């Protein structure tokens, strides 16, 4: 039976793992290579790392971090943040990423999804969707949630599936960082609309939230702070899920 994937996410600035997307009070949580190795050894099913303050001059440092992490883990690695064209995707794959996540660029240039999935295979193209509520509508936002678009998360999810994306990484800007649980409504709506794997992201604060995420049909459950601050270990999450009858790799 297919197991649900527990995926720690490393948000990276200048070769440091930092907390969240709030740029004002950046809190350093650890060394990326050290944490990556720890998570891989403790039973993480995949690892995600994001260049959250992607800038041209810092890109080389980030690529070195990707290479260093790829060397010490033997689980799949998804890398995102600051991907602007097919060259960036190829560079990240060559640096050791197994999958590359594209977000803002996918919205601005949907053709990149098509070109990159044809070139490298759908399995390594992840489209990250940052959703946020405006009234009753759940809309796609870009540039780290700072800019709204007129696309609904559901129509965009269907669209990127058709363009060849192999997976979705869905973050709700309404639940991200506040540890009240995943955005079940958003995840269920997207999972109903597509048949590619969905990674749920944003909002984990308690063990039960992982089970709630699984119930939305998402096959990957991503969390950051709860792991970096050692609130929970990967094994603790898996043990809890197993006892709750959710299939996990122990």
Partner 1 sequence: MKKKVIGLIDSGSGNIGSIKKSISNIIENKPYQLQIIKTKKDFNNIDKIILPGQGAFATLMENLHKKNLYTQLLKLIKELSIPYLGICVGMQILATYGYENKKIKGLDIIKGEIIKFKKKNLIIPHMGWNTIKLKNKNIVFDQTTDLKDFYFVHSYYFKGVNSKNVTATTKYSNNFPSVVNIGNVYGVQFHPEKSHKEGSKIIKNFIFKS
Binding site for partner 1 (CB under 8 A): 1-5, 40, 45, 70-71, 74-76, 93-94, 96, 98, 120-123, 166-167, 195-197, 217, 219-220, 249
For partner 1, the closer of residues 111 and 247 by Cβ is 247
CB of 62 to partner 1, least distance (A): 17
CB of 199 to partner 1, least distance (A): 10
CB of 13 to partner 1, least distance (A): 25
Are the C-beta atoms of 75 and 45 separated by less than 8 Å? yes
Is residue 130 part of the annotated active site? The answer reads yes
Is residue 45 part of the annotated active site? The answer reads no
For partner 1, the closer of residues 3 and 133 by Cβ is 3
CB of 238 to partner 1, least distance (A): 11
For partner 1, the closer of residues 22 and 94 by Cβ is 94
For partner 1, the closer of residues 131 and 220 by Cβ is 220
Q: How far apart are CA 240 and CA 214, in angstroms?
A: 13
Q: How far is CA 69 from CA 138, 160, 198, in A?
A: 35, 29, 24
CB of 170 to partner 1, least distance (A): 14
For partner 1, the closer of residues 121 and 134 by Cβ is 121
Q: How far apart are CA 111 and CA 57, in angstroms?
A: 26
- Catalytically annotated residue among 11, 45, 88, 183: 11
- Catalytically annotated residue among 45, 51, 88, 130: 130
Catalytic site positions: 11, 130
């Amino acid at each position: 039976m297919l197991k649900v994937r527990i995926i720690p996410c490393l948000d990276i600035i200048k070769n440091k793992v930092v907390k969240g997307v709030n740029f004002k009070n950046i809190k350093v949580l650890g060394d990326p290579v050290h944490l990556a190795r720890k998570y891989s050894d403790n039973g993480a099913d995949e690892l995600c790392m994001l260049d959250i303050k992607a800038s041209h001059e810092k890109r080389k440092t980030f690529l070195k971090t990707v290479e260093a992490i790829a060397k010490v883990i033997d689980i799949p690695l998804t890398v995102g943040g600051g991907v602007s064209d097919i060259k960036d995707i190829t560079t990240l794959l060559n640096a050791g990423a197994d999958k590359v996540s594209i977000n803002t660029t996918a919205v601005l240039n949907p053709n990149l999804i098509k070109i990159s999935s044809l070139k490298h295979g759908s399995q390594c193209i992840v489209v990250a969707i940052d959703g946020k509520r405006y009234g009753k509508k759940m809309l796609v936002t870009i540039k780290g949630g700072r800019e709204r678009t007129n696309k609904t998360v559901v129509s965009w999810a269907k669209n990127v599936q058709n363009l060849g994306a192999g997976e979705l990484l869905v973050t709700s800007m309404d639940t991200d960082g506040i540890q009240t649980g995943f955005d079940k409504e958003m995840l269920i709506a997207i999972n109903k609309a597509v048949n590619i794997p969905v990674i749920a992201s944003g909002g984990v604060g308690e063990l039960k939230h992982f089970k709630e995420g699984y119930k939305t049909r998402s096959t990957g459950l991503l969390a950051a702070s709860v792991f970096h601050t050692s609130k929970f270990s990967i094994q603790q999450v898996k043990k809890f899920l197993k006892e709750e009858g959710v299939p996990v790799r122990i």
